[in-house]
Amino acid sequence: MGDRLIGVIERAAGSLLALVTALTFVSVVLRYIFNWAIPDSYDLGRNLLGILIFWGIAVAGYRGAHITVDLLWNALPRRAQGQLGRVLDLVLALAMGALAWAMALKLRDTWASGETSYDLNLPLWPFQALAWVGFAVGFVLALLRLFRHPAAAETPPPRL
């Protein structure tokens, strides 16, 4: 289940990255050549980029594929590495849970305020909802890594 979910997340993130790239490129070309801007291109780009980043954090945390400092890790014996890895997986799960909770509160506030984009008056809460889902999935994936993921002991754990 976890690997299929990761594949879906990676494909969605790749699609969002392509969309943000295309939106930025077209917006710049239109602005500098035709002196015309795509309405809300900045708001759309930054919100989509935020979603992309939050979903990427979920995948990187699950795989342990983010930036790490291995100074302490390499100095420890294998057994201590495993114990430290479990502690750090727990810290990752707690951090992702806290971020998901904080994002849920922000989402609630944005929804209640009715905040919209500048040009098109698009509601901003759907973008924040997708970002929140990224953190929520990151929390679930961190728990999977902590309790069930068979490769968790073989790969370096996330370090903060």
Partner residues linked to 116 by β-bridges: 123
User: In a structure prediction context, what are the per-residue pLDDT tens digits for the chain, which is 160 residues long?
Assistant: 567 878 888 888 889 899 999 999 999 999 999 999 899 999 999 999 999 999 888 888 888 776 676 788 888 898 888 888 888 889 999 999 999 999 999 999 999 999 999 999 999 999 999 999 999 988 998 898 888 754 444 555 555 4
Handedness of CA 156, 14, 23, 103 (dihedral sign): negative
CA distance 94 to 96: 6
Using only the alpha carbons of the chain, give its radius of gyration: 19
Phi-psi map region of 40: left, alpha, beta (phi>0 left; psi -120 to 50 alpha) = left
- Return the domain boundaries, the chain: 2-153
Other CB atoms within 10 Å distance of the CB of residue 13: 19
* Model confidence, pTM: 0.80
